[in-house]
């Protein structure tokens, strides 16, 4: 449980410096607006039939974009800031192992994100007070949102460990996430022989089933493995100081 000290320190930094508050505000404003517009759409065209197909799918696809917009700003500081301030030198000379540092940071960031997501529960709850629906599909959607977010955070953590410039860290994370998004955008350009492979690695395609209320073991496994993959890359990146110097 040695990672807990880093975890607590990161939370203090997130909540002590307004980063968490300002990003949560943006996140809630955007998701709230999307929920409102999707509701209107559902009201006008969905005719209150099949709520999953005419509300949740759209809502969760919108939340996905907001997540992509917000998370790189949350992860950009994780290692880049420590490198810039030189505090990474302290972490590396305290009796902590690299995995403690990485997990402490990853879980602190994930917790901030989960708290933001939990706040959005207000929207379906409000809807539930005036309209009955099954909670299964939206809960599956939320599970997807959190798994997708965990992968984004792991990816952002890794990229943050490569640079000491927070802007570079955020921009590169956007680059990687947008790349994964576009991976299957133009299927014709990829060619039929690769399309199957490419779609497997598209983070956004993997999310689609969740937004329809389907929890697929393969998709859950994919997100967990992708998260572990990026965390392992972070470990490699930290280890590189042993031959690089800083």
Partner 1 sequence: MSMIEVENVTKRFGHILAVDRISFYIAKGEVIGFLGPNGAGKTTAMRILACFFPPTSGRASVGGHDVVTHALQVKQLVGYFPERVSVYPDLPVRSFLDFVAEAKDVPRAERKREIGRVIESCGLEAVSDRIIGHLSKGYRQRVGIAQALINRPQVLILDEPTIGLDPEQVVEIRKLIRDLGAERTVILSTHILSEVSSVCDRVIIINQGRILASESLAELRAQLHRTRVVRVEVEGPEPQVRGVLERLPGVETVRRPELRVRKPEDNGAVALVVEYTGDDIRKQVSRTVLEHGWGLLEVRSLEPTLEDMYLQLIRDEEQAPRIESLRD
Among 49, 95, 186, 188, binds partner 1 (CB under 8 A): 95
**Interaction of residue 21 with partner 1, rule CB under 8 A:** no
| Residues in region 203-242 near partner 1 by CB under 8 A | 241-242
Among 16, 25, 131, 179, binds partner 1 (CB under 8 A): 16
Among 21, 40, 43, 85, binds partner 1 (CB under 8 A): 85
**Interaction of residue 1 with partner 1, rule CB under 8 A:** no
Phi, psi of 191 (to 5 degrees): 95, 145
Q: How many helices (H) and strands (E) does the chain have?
A: 15, 0
Burial of residue 220 (number of CB atoms within 10 Å: 0-12, 13-18, 19+):
middle
Question: Cβ of residue 8: shortest distance to partner 1, in angstroms?
Answer: 7
Any idea which residue has 């403690």 for tokens?
Answer: 100
Question: Cβ of residue 205: shortest distance to partner 1, in angstroms?
Answer: 39
Mark the segment that binds partner 1 (CB under 8 A) among 92-100, 124-132, 191-199, 215-223.
Answer: 92-100
Question: Which residue, 98 or 209, is less far from partner 1 as judged by CB?
Answer: 98
Cβ atoms of residues 56 and 213 within 8 Å: yes
How many other C-beta atoms lie within 10 A of the C-beta of residue 144?
A: 27
**Interaction of residue 4 with partner 1, rule CB under 8 A:** yes
Any idea which residue has 């014709």 for tokens?
Answer: 188
**Interaction of residue 94 with partner 1, rule CB under 8 A:** yes
Half-sphere exposure of 24 (CA within 13 A, CB side): 19
Among 36, 48, 92, 179, binds partner 1 (CB under 8 A): 92
Max Cα–Cα distance, the chain, nearest Å: 63
Question: Cβ of residue 90: shortest distance to partner 1, in angstroms?
Answer: 5
Question: Which residue, 9 or 212, is less far from partner 1 as judged by CB?
Answer: 9
Distance set, CA 191 to CA 146, 194, 195, 196, 241 (Å): 32, 6, 6, 10, 41
Which residues are at the interface with partner 1 (CB under 8 A)?
A: 4-6, 8-9, 12-13, 16-17, 85-97, 241-242, 244-245
């Amino acid at each position: 449980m040695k990672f807990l000290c880093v975890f607590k320190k990161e939370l203090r930094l997130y909540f002590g410096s307004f980063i968490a508050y300002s990003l949560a505000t943006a996140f809630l404003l955007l998701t709230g607006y999307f929920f409102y517009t999707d509701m209107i759409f559902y009201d006008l065209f969905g005719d209150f039939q099949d709520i999953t197909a005419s509300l949740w799918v759209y809502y969760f696809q919108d939340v996905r974009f907001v997540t992509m917009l917000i998370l790189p700003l949350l992860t950009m500081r994780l290692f880049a800031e420590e490198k810039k301030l030189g505090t990474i030198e302290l972490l590396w000379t305290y009796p902590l192992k690299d995995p403690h540092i990485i997990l402490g940071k990853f879980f602190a960031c994930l917790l901030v994100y989960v708290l933001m997501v939990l706040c959005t529960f207000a929207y379906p709850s409000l809807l539930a007070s005036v309209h009955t629906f099954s909670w299964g599909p939206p809960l599956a959607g939320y599970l997807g949102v959190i798994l997708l977010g965990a992968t984004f955070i792991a990816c952002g953590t890794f990229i943050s460990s490569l640079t000491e410039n927070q802007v570079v860290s955020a921009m590169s994370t956007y680059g990687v996430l947008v790349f994964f998004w576009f991976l299957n955008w133009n299927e014709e350009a990829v060619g039929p022989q690769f399309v199957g492979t490419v779609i497997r690695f598209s983070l956004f395609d993997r999310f689609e089933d969740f937004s329809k209320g389907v929890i697929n073991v393969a998709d859950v496994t994919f997100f967990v493995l992708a998260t572990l993959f990026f965390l392992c890359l972070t470990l490699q990146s930290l280890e590189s100081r042993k031959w690089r110097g800083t």
